[in-house]
Amino acid sequence: MPRESGTAVVAGVPVDTRHWIGGERVDSAGTFTDLSPIDGSELAEIARGTATEAAAAVAAAKAAFAGWAATPPAERARVLHSIADGVERRLDDLAIVETTDNGALLRSHRRGVMPRVAHNFRFFADWLLTLGHDDFETRGHTNHVDWDPAGPCVLITPWNAPLMLATWKVAPALAAGNTVVLKPAEWSPLTASLLADIAAEAGLPAGVLNIVQGYGAEIGDALTSHPDVRRISFTGSVPTARRIAASAAPQLTPVSLELGGKSPLLVFADADLDLAVDLAVEQYDNAGQVCLAGTRLLVEEAVAEEFTRRFTEKASALRQGDPRDETTDIGPVIHTRQLEKIDGFVRRAVSAGARTVIGGQPRGGNFYAPTLLTDVAQDSEIVQEEVFGPVLTLQTFTGEDEAVRLANDTRFGLAATLVTGDRERADRVSAQLVAGTVWVNCFFVRDLQAPFGGSRQSGVGREGGTWSFDFYCDLKNTVTAPKGWQDRG
């Protein structure tokens, strides 16, 4: 007999496990089981959507679009601020549910991630009210630019930072006057459901935000191929992005794709080595499940031995364990399948000649030891492919030209981190790196008004600030002649 979705109690917090469509909870004929990566326990039976629920969600978004698009920007902004208020009121609930669901550190969720969720709504609400372009003249004619809402948007989000990355898309799409169908990742769907409750309590009209759950092959394809969808934004893997692009192509639906990375972290001999080591060890954050992570450590040969010694000492002191414990530095990876994938990368690399400096093996359950590999070839799988786990490689270089060549020698171009004490070198090298974001003597400093996205196979398009509105809107230029008006005086 099939198991039923309904309401699950996760870490003491009730979570509705049905879809949210047109302002109502909607069940499906089937379910899928959501497991906690912390201990493998069953958290909930989640409504398993199909093309039927996809069609219903898009229809609800389409029906609600005209009303929300016509809502004055100030009122849209007020509702988004109200959603942010709701996030802040339920911050502890959101934090513990997401930690239980995806294994990231509870302290990070409480102190950084969930406050950022609220900030996503506040930022785009405020940016909406400043959005504009000065009128300009062409041979006496006036040009006026408008950002018109595009229509229903499908947003497909990953499991590594579920709510933060979902609201990074939801907030600007709603601010722009669009309606939304959000499909969270099936490995971490729970906080998206809580967002539906928060949005409804904030007064967001029915159908403006719809949330459907399920597998990509069963519901995702039906969403991305739907002729009434006007925008698709996806964060995830390159293979899935190819499927989405192919699915959207017949309708010419614009897509924004934020994909994988194999980012370099370059350390020059003139760098502050303590800073460089701190930044390198930080790449193990969220058990290495961060698309922006600088997983390829490129260290100038003159300081490589000392860097490796300090790195090994600091990384070996990291505490791995239950992410709900305040003293834990690294939690589990998201799923047994992800752990097996990570371990496969490491085993193949070692078989090919790589040397393990630290780690290199599972630690029971979904825990994988923080790992550093050296003696790796530039064209090897471990250097060229995204592992998405706590696995770093270390290579050396002897000068700027070699550093830049190694840094740029993958099919990705999402981010890069550069550590140097020479400001002119920082400028020279940064200018040559192929990346959507370059950090110099810092890491993961992100401002929502900056463009975000990747080059090469790390993505298509940019979002953030006005760039988000450029994507989620149809830009219109109205050109008005100076003559031809009737005199009504």
Domains plus CATH for the chain?
7-259+454-477 (3.40.605.10), 264-440 (3.40.309.10)
3-state DSSP assignment of residue 441: coil
Q: Please count the other Cβ atoms lying within 10 Å of the Cβ belonging to residue 36.
A: 19
Please count the CA atoms within 13 angstroms of the CA of 204 that sit on its side-chain side: 35
Q: Which residues contact 4 (CB under 8 A, 6 or more apart)?
A: 27, 31, 45
Q: Give the max Cα distance, the chain.
A: 87
The structure tokens listed for 54 are 């996809």
3-state DSSP assignment of residue 439: strand
Regarding beta strands 180-183 and 209-211, do their DSSP bridges make them parallel or antiparallel, or are they unpaired? parallel
* Alpha-carbon distances, residue 206 vs 63, 124, 200 (angstroms): 10, 21, 8
Instruction: Give the model's pLDDT for residue 6.
Output: 87
Q: Please count the other Cβ atoms lying within 10 Å of the Cβ belonging to residue 384.
A: 16
What DSSP state is assigned to residue 288? G
Per-residue pLDDT of the chain (489 residues; tens, 9 = 90+): 345 668 999 999 999 999 999 999 999 999 999 999 999 999 999 999 999 999 999 999 999 999 999 999 999 999 999 999 999 999 999 999 999 999 999 999 999 999 999 999 999 999 999 999 999 999 999 999 999 999 999 999 999 999 999 999 999 999 999 999 999 999 999 999 999 999 999 999 999 999 999 999 999 999 999 999 999 999 999 999 999 999 999 999 999 999 999 999 999 999 999 999 999 999 999 999 999 999 999 999 999 999 999 999 999 999 999 999 999 999 999 999 999 999 999 999 999 999 999 999 999 999 999 999 999 999 999 999 999 999 999 999 999 999 999 999 999 999 999 999 999 999 999 999 999 999 999 999 999 999 999 999 999 999 999 999 999 999 999 999 998 888 776
**Phi and psi at residue 315, to the nearest 5°:** -70, -35
CA torsion, ordered 468, 474, 479, 484, to nearest 10 deg? -140
Instruction: Give the model's pLDDT for residue 244.
Output: 96
Does residue 258 have an active-site annotation? yes
Instruction: Give the model's pLDDT for residue 165.
Output: 96
Are 46 and 189 spatial neighbours (Cβ–Cβ below 8 Å)? yes
Percent helix, percent strand, percent coil in the chain, to nearest 5: 40, 20, 35
Instruction: Give the model's pLDDT for residue 3.
Output: 55
Residues 59, 63, 69, 73, CA torsion sign: negative
Instruction: Give the model's pLDDT for residue 5.
Output: 62
**Helix ranges restricted to H, 352-399:** 381-384
Instruction: Give the model's pLDDT for residue 485.
Output: 83
Residue 117: strand pairing partners: none
Identify the active-site residue in 45, 53, 258, 386.
Answer: 258
Q: Which residues contact 266 (CB under 8 A, 6 or more apart)?
A: 298, 299, 403, 407, 416, 417, 418, 419, 420, 429
Identify the active-site residue in 291, 300, 463, 473.
Answer: 291
Instruction: Give the model's pLDDT for residue 1.
Output: 32
